[in-house]
A and B are shown apart, each in its own frame.
Chain A
């Protein structure tokens, strides 16, 4: 079974631009979570989607948004990029919920904001 995939793997943007990241979960998984990983901050939860609905949300500004499609693929968007948005963005999928099922991570998208 194919694992979680993310595209693109690397991105370089400038301040003020916007970016869209994509995540394809493991086949059959309906829950997709997004995390921001920076040195020293660990894995900061952005949001979680289940059946095309945002079920949980972390403490990030409204510039961070996401959506999930009927095939469970998910995208996250960051508008008006800031230097501090430079990070590794990880998505993870699970059967129904990360609170009960094993969560599998993708390889991440490394975003650099100049």
Chain B
């Protein structure tokens, strides 16, 4: 059974940092591109960024709203996905989901974690 389990969320002050983790199991993690998607309280879904696989040099893409502040990485040996968030702003408050790409050629998300809440507030 495919499982994605996020952790690392919590309360952080504006300007602070936080690292989210996503533990993957039940599939060959190294074969899949992975993404982060967030949802502010009471709002819709916002794509945050993507990391490709080793064959594509672990290249990344980011939303403009987080580029330069957030970094996505992965550890294929441990089946973990990470989101390093720096210079956090109040507008980064959201539930953060990790999601698996259905296939390499199309960024559709066939499995999602349960989400972890990040609250940026003083």
Do A and B actually bind?
no
